[in-house]
């Protein structure tokens, strides 16, 4: 399974194996806040707990009544906390008590938010505190739907890219998992010390972000024969050209000699193309030498061995531009295929650049053409 650019992983033990791509998409939208929340509080002190509580209750009641008169519904007022603490002198003797009561108010008429703050604080007198304010979007259904659509579209775009790079069509959706939507960035918080009723309250815009993780199945690749049917036939080598290449490369029929010469396996068998053994110093030297193919292609043989089937000549595209081909190389007067994007490589190997290549099926017949990339007779079994 492909996941956010990570390599394929096997299914967990006991689960059926499946091929898919797992990606995470995000979608962000902006909306105007429709709710202003104020965290009021009253704080009182007295020599006894009872007196401190009574003073706090009196101040809190005045504040609550003032907020109701200012237009706040009682259902939008909620006691958020009640705390009692002792006060000590330097000798750690109790000399009094402090009571703190929190009151959360939801203000839905945003243009009146400043006036409501002033009314609540004035009613609480010297005991009044304002611990913080925030804007939020309460009616977020439509915005959340839009953010979810964007998140899914983002996930699909990533999945299609990974599937294309893997050479596979994107299949059906297997799983969808949503992360809890987030609002942000948070609105500034204002302490009582910094509060000034003359400062206007600006709600601005608030961002809502939806995140979704989606798994798509990877559909089966197009059959090799179907792919070949769309490819034009290529000319064959002359007998003289073939003789030159056989003389230079026949020693690589023995894969041990190829390995001793510096060729290394690059990935698992590719249907229609076989096993690839590449020589790094040749793939990066920007030269084409008929006697030194950059890649040797082997196919499966009896007893788990491999046999030499084709030569692949490889050259990186100098400008890395898929739209230009002014530097297309040739081999014995035969033009290379490309330019083409690099193919997926195993973890730990450097990425393959934009390049040209030419396959020469010198040691195994290719019914699609001696110089055609894919061979319908090559399987990985």
Q: Which of 136, 165, 180 is the last residue of a domain?
A: 136
Q: Which of 202, 218, 234 is the last residue of a domain?
A: 218
pLDDT, mean of residues 19-26: 92
pLDDT, mean of residues 8-31: 69
pLDDT at 303: 81
Residues 146 and 187 in one domain: yes
- List, for residues 67-83, the tens digit of each pLDDT value: 999 999 999 999 999 99
Q: Which of 218, 238, 273 is the last residue of a domain?
A: 218
pLDDT at 345: 62
pLDDT at 39: 95
CA distances from 350 to 8, 135, 345 (A): 17, 49, 8
Residues 293 and 253 in one domain: yes
Residues 26 and 164 in one domain: yes
The answer to whether position 375 is within a domain reads: no
Residues 111 and 209 in one domain: no
Residues 301 and 332 in one domain: yes
- Segment among 26-35, 222-231, 282-291 with least mean pLDDT: 222-231
The answer to whether position 381 is within a domain reads: no
pLDDT, mean of residues 126-149: 92
Q: What is the CATH number of the domain that holds 26?
A: 3.30.110.170
Q: Which residue has the higher pLDDT, 128 or 5?
A: 128
pLDDT at 234: 59
- List, for residues 310-359, the tens digit of each pLDDT value: 999 999 888 888 888 888 999 988 999 988 887 766 666 677 788 999 99
pLDDT, mean of residues 146-165: 92
Residues 340 and 278 in one domain: yes
Model confidence at 196, pLDDT cuts 50, 70, 90, reads very low
Residues 238 and 183 in one domain: no
The answer to whether position 371 is within a domain reads: no
Residues 203 and 308 in one domain: no
Q: Which residue has the higher pLDDT, 223 or 349?
A: 349
> Considering its fold, how many domains does the chain have in total?
3
C-alpha to C-alpha distance for 24 and 80, rounded to whole angstroms: 37
Residue 145 has pLDDT above 90, yes or no: yes
- Record the tokens describing residue 148, joined without a space: 């979810």
Residues 335 and 213 in one domain: no
pLDDT at 215: 94
Model confidence at 190, pLDDT cuts 50, 70, 90, reads very low
Model confidence at 54, pLDDT cuts 50, 70, 90, reads very high
Model confidence at 222, pLDDT cuts 50, 70, 90, reads low
The answer to whether position 273 is within a domain reads: yes
The whole-chain average pLDDT of the chain stands at 84
Residue 16 has pLDDT above 90, yes or no: no
Residues 201 and 241 in one domain: no
Q: Which residue has the higher pLDDT, 202 or 82?
A: 82
- List, for residues 291-305, the tens digit of each pLDDT value: 999 999 999 888 888
Residues 172 and 23 in one domain: yes
Residues 265 and 321 in one domain: yes
The answer to whether position 68 is within a domain reads: no
Burial of 4 (0-12, 13-18, 19+ CB in 10 A): exposed
pLDDT at 6: 38
The answer to whether position 308 is within a domain reads: yes
Domain limits at 237?
224-360
Residue 15 has pLDDT above 90, yes or no: no
- List, for residues 228-281, the tens digit of each pLDDT value: 445 555 578 899 999 999 999 999 999 999 999 999 998 778 888 899 999 988
The answer to whether position 366 is within a domain reads: no
The answer to whether position 367 is within a domain reads: no
- List, for residues 81-104, the tens digit of each pLDDT value: 999 999 998 888 898 999 999 999
């Amino acid at each position: 399974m492909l996941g956010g650019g990570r390599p394929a992983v096997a299914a967990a033990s006991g689960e059926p194996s499946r091929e898919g791509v797992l990606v995470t998409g995000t979608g962000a939208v902006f909306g105007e806040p429709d709710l202003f929340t104020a965290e009021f509080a009253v704080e009182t002190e007295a020599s006894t707990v009872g007196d401190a509580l009574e003073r706090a209750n009196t101040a809190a009641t005045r504040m609550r009544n003032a907020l109701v008169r200012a237009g706040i519904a009682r259902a939008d007022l909620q006691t958020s906390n009640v705390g009692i603490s002792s006060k000590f002198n330097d000798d750690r003797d109790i000399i009094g008590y402090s009571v703190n009561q929190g009151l959360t108010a939801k203000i839905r008429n945003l243009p009146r938010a400043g006036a409501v703050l002033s009314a609540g604080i004035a009613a609480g007198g010297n005991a009044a505190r304002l611990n913080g304010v925030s804007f939020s979007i309460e009616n977020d259904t439509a915005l959340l739907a839009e953010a979810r659509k964007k998140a899914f579209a983002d996930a699909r775009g990533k999945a299609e890219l990974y599937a294309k790079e893997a050479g596979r069509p994107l299949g059906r959706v297997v799983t969808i998992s949503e992360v809890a939507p987030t609002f942000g960035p948070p609105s500034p918080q204002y302490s009582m010390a910094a509060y000034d009723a003359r400062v206007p309250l600006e709600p601005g815009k608030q961002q809502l972000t939806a995140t979704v993780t989606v798994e798509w199945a990877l559909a089966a690749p197009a059959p090799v024969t179907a792919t070949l049917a769309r490819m034009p036939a290529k000319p064959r080598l002359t007998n003289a050209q073939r003789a030159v290449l056989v003389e230079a490369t026949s020693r690589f029929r023995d894969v041990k000699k190829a390995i001793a010469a510096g060729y290394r396996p690059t990935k698992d068998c590719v249907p229609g193309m076989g096993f690839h053994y590449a020589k790094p110093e040749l793939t990066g030297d920007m030269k084409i030498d008929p006697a030194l193919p950059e890649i040797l292609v082997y196919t499966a043989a009896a007893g788990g061995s491999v046999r030499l089937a084709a030569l692949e000549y490889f050259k990186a595209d100098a400008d890395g531009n898929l739209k230009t081909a002014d530097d297309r190389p040739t081999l014995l007067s035969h033009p290379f295929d490309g330019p083409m994007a690099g193919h997926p490589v195993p973890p730990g190997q450097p990425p393959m650049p934009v390049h040209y290549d030419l396959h020469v099926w010198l040691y195994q017949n290719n019914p699609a053409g001696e110089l055609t990339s894919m061979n319908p007779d090559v399987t990985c079994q």
